Amino acid sequence: MTRKYSYTLSVDAGYFFSKYFGLSTGIALSPYLTKLFLDTYSNSLDTVDSENESYERRISGNNINETQKIYFLEIPVILNFQYPFSKVIGFYLQSGINLAIPVSKNYSSSGTFTYTGYYPAYNVLLKDIPYEGFKSNVKTDISRELRVKTNNPEIIASGGFYFCTEKQFKISVGFFYKKILSDISDYSPVESFQLSTHENQLRSFMEGSEKAIASSMGIIISLRYYIK
């Protein structure tokens, strides 16, 4: 699994009820991008063919890539702390919780698969024939929608330094971390997960996972206008 870079845009408003502490809320659009890779894959299942003959369907694959893209609309409730070192520079901390709602949730997958069928009644292995889709080195490339829970609680924390450019404008630069507290996957658990069972069909890795967690970290830059 490889984490990918993305950009978050947010707008917020708040109130400082003392020199140091305040509360804020707002709205943000945060993309979560992840790339997953599986070098080789093999699995099998017992099934029947179109003539009701029982057989073991065997699947193998290689060079399987998947990119997951989930865009969350986030509504935060944040506790703010600021400590001025002077009239032009200070230190700040923020912590709170977001309600993360998915507005876009997709995955794209590709790989090469081989499908064979073993018939124990005849002790024969069928491959490289169109019958029942017993094909070799089938290249698959699909894009589908992920099943993600509608409401996801997320913790957020950030901290850094702020600089006063004018009397009521402040620019801040800091580091942030966010993590969704619960399993975001809305797939039902399965006893035996099959990544692919036939040509042009490729499920998401999330569907076969016990738990899926979204988290992000990075640099945050903000501009704030203070009304006195």
Tell me, rounded to whole angstroms, the distance of Cα 29 from its chain centroid: 14
Q: In the 8-state DSSP scheme, what is residue 70? A: E
Give residue 168's pLDDT: 82
Place of tokens 């698959």: 140
The pair of structure tokens assigned to 226 is 């203070």
Token pair, residue 162, equals: 């702020």
pLDDT, position 190 = 81
CA distance 97 to 156: 6
pLDDT value at residue 167: 74
Spatial CA neighbour of 101 closest among 158, 29, 35, 157:
29
Question: What local confidence, expressed as pLDDT, does residue 142 receive?
Answer: 94
| Single-letter residue type at 140 | T
Beta strands in the chain (DSSP E): 2-3, 9-16, 21-48, 54-84, 89-119, 124-126, 138-145, 152-164, 169-180, 215-225
Q: Which residues is 136 bridged to in the sheet?
A: none
| Residue-level pLDDT at 174 | 96
Q: Are 159 and 93 in contact (CB under 8 A)?
A: yes
Which structure tokens are listed for 135? 């094909």
Nearest 10 degrees: Cα torsion 24, 25, 31, 33: 60
Among 137, 108, 144, which residue's Cα sits nearest to residue 199? 137
C-beta separation of 56 from 90 below 8 A: no
Q: What is the pLDDT of residue 135?
A: 93
Residues in the chain: 228
| pTM exceeding 0.85 | yes
Question: Rounded distance, CA 22 to CA 118, Å?
Answer: 68
Identify the burial level of 91 via C-beta atoms within 10 angstroms of its C-beta, where 0-12 means exposed, 13-18 middle and 19 or more buried. Answer: middle
For 75, the token pair is 């509504």
> What is the residue range of 70's domain?
2-225
pLDDT at 73: 97
Q: How many distinct structural domains can be found in the chain?
A: 1
Q: Amino acid identity of 18?
A: S
**What are the residues whose beta carbons fall under 8 Å from the beta carbon of 67, sequence distance 6 or more?**
4, 33, 34, 35, 36, 107, 108, 109
Average pLDDT per 10 consecutive residues for the chain, totaling 228 residues: 84 92 95 93 93 94 96 96 91 95 96 96 92 92 95 96 85 95 92 90 93 93 88
